[in-house]
């Protein structure tokens, strides 16, 4: 679907169909391209011309704000920081590509380069996780596996930091994320990159990448045990539907449950030139709806570190009020919540809408809450009423 937007509303992942005015009114010699770099995005926004986007081939414009309009916080990263993010993403992808190429040729894995890359990614995440992840969402077909590995590494580091893991553990988990798909070097390219539906035999071959990766890493020196564990088990699921061993519950390590979340999230949100990925909100909502596939506590902590929550989720706000998450506001603003119940007075209170800053400094204000422990009413219906601003009655309380 074609849609005309303002230049300042352009975002990474949009597909430009054309520009308003003549060819001298914008800084590009061509139209019809995916916005895949922060430099191109800055040029478009500075041009102040109308932009025609194709939402079937790229991202759509963000929905209008559901809460009162607020002024977005000033950019914390700046152009120099943006360039650093792009350069690091490209450099990290090149390191992973070289690593995969070396493995195909039977060469020894160089852990020094891997650890240096993990440290560089951890350093940039201190400034801005969302900027780095937005760059890695854009994946060329031939580089998908390498860029995906970089993105999972970044998400693993960020989630580990959210969980308060010590620096050594954070580093090892980042390394596990970077190496989790190494076994795909043993899968023929004709299968990995085919555009045709996979046969049962081809699916079985791709699934063997977990055991291939475990064998490769077990033959290398200085690879932490957690990286072997994640490589072998990152497709296992708590409900026993995963592979290769159909492990259940606590039989799956915490590190692997973390990797499963990071791996699936990046897969769902990845943008290809010929395929539109899900928005972060849609991906998180889909993952939470997949009951039994992900550790619910870890998934909530993952939401917290991203600052992305599905609409209508019950949370505890600063330990004294219950709130539901509201529809996403515009870029530059944090997650929105509507408080409606006092846990101190155990009564419904007037609605108040709160938007957290996007720097996540207030993330600790939010914790998970179980609707069944507080309310006897059907929670999805009750949550929908709250989101729509309808009054709810005392009979809904447990």
| pLDDT tens string 268-303 | 999 877 678 898 989 999 999 999 999 999 999 999
Question: Tokens 């219950």 map to which residue?
Answer: 322
**CB atoms near residue 351 (< 10 Å):** 14
Q: What is the pLDDT of residue 140?
A: 82
Q: What is the C-alpha to C-alpha distance for residues 344 and 348, in angstroms, rounded to an integer? A: 11
Q: What is the C-alpha to C-alpha distance for residues 54 and 52, in angstroms, rounded to an integer? A: 7
Q: What is the pLDDT of residue 287?
A: 94
Q: What is the pLDDT of residue 162?
A: 93
Residue 360 gets the label, from left (phi > 0), alpha (psi -120 to 50) or beta, of left
pTM of the model: 0.78
Q: What is the C-alpha to C-alpha distance for residues 166 and 338, in angstroms, rounded to an integer? A: 34
Q: What is the C-alpha to C-alpha distance for residues 284 and 177, in angstroms, rounded to an integer? A: 19
Render each residue's pLDDT in the chain as its tens digit; 398 residues: 788 888 777 776 677 888 776 545 556 656 677 775 555 666 777 776 788 887 766 667 654 433 333 233 334 455 666 788 888 999 999 999 999 999 999 888 888 889 999 999 999 888 778 889 888 988 888 889 999 999 999 999 999 999 999 999 999 999 999 999 999 999 998 898 887 889 999 999 999 999 999 999 999 988 999 999 999 999 999 999 999 999 999 999 999 999 999 999 999 999 877 678 898 989 999 999 999 999 999 999 999 999 899 999 999 988 899 999 988 765 556 788 999 999 999 999 999 988 886 545 566 788 999 999 999 888 999 999 999 999 886 555 65
Inter-helix orientation angle 200-207/209-218, to 10°: 20
Q: What is the DSSP string of 241-283?
A: --SSS--BGGGS-HHHHHHHHHHHHHHHH-BBTTBPPPPHHHH
Instruction: State residue 337 phi and psi, 5-degree precision.
Output: -135, 150
pLDDT in tens, 308-339: 999 999 999 888 999 999 887 655 567 889 99
Q: Six-digit token pair at 346? A: 């155990």
pLDDT in tens, 219-233: 998 899 999 999 999
Q: What is the C-alpha to C-alpha distance for residues 327 and 311, in angstroms, rounded to an integer? A: 6
Which residue in 183, 174, 126 sits closest to 150, CA to CA? 174
Q: What is the pLDDT of residue 81?
A: 67
Q: Six-digit token pair at 341? A: 């119940």
Residues ≥6 apart with Cβ < 8 Å to 62: 9, 11, 328, 330, 331
Q: What is the pLDDT of residue 275?
A: 75
């Amino acid at each position: 679907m074609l849609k005309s937007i303002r230049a300042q509303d352009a975002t990474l992942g949009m597909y430009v169909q054309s520009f308003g005015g003549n060819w001298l009114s914008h800084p590009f010699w061509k139209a019809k391209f995916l916005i895949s770099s922060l430099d191109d995005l800055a040029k478009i926004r500075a041009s102040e011309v109308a932009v025609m986007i194709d939402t079937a081939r790229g991202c759509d414009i963000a929905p209008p704000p559901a809460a009162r309009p607020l002024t977005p916080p000033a950019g914390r990263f700046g152009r120099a920081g943006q360039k650093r993010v792009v350069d690091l993403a490209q450099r990290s992808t090149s390191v992973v590509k070289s690593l995969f190429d070396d493995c195909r040729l039977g060469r020894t894995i160089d852990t020094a380069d891997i650890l240096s890359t993990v440290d560089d990614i951890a350093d940039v995440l201190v400034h801005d996780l969302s900027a780095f992840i937005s760059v890695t969402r854009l994946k060329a077909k031939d580089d998908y596996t390498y860029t995906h590995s970089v993105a999972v590494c970044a998400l693993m580091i960020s989630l580990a930091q959210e969980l308060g893991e010590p620096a050594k553990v954070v580093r090892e988990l980042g390394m596990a994320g970077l190496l989790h798909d190494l076994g795909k070097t043993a899968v023929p390219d004709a299968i990995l990159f085919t555009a045709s539906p996979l046969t049962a035999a081809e699916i079985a071959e791709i699934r063997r990448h977990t055991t291939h990766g475990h064998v490769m890493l077990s033959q290398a020196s200085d690879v932490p045990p957690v990286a072997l564990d994640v490589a072998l088990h990152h497709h296992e699921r708590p409900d026993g539907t995963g592979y290769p061993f159909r492990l259940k519950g606590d039989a799956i390590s915490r590190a692997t449950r973390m990797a499963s979340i990071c791996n699936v999230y990046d897969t769902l949100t990845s943008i290809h030139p010929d395929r539109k990925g899900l928005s972060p909100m849609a991906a998180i909502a889909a993952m939470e709806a997949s009951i039994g596939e992900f550790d619910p506590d870890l998934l909530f902590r993952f939401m917290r570190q991203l600052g992305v929550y599905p609409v209508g989720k019950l949370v505890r706000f600063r330990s004294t009020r219950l709130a539901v998450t509201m529809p996403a506001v515009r870029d530059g603003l944090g997650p929105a919540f509507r408080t409606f119940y006092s846990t101190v007075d155990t009564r419904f209170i007037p609605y108040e809408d709160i938007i957290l800053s996007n720097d996540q400094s207030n993330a600790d204000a939010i914790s998970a809450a179980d609707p069944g422990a507080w309310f006897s009413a059907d929670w999805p219906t009750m949550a929908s009423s709250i989101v729509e601003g309808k009054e709810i009655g005392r009979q809904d309380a447990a």
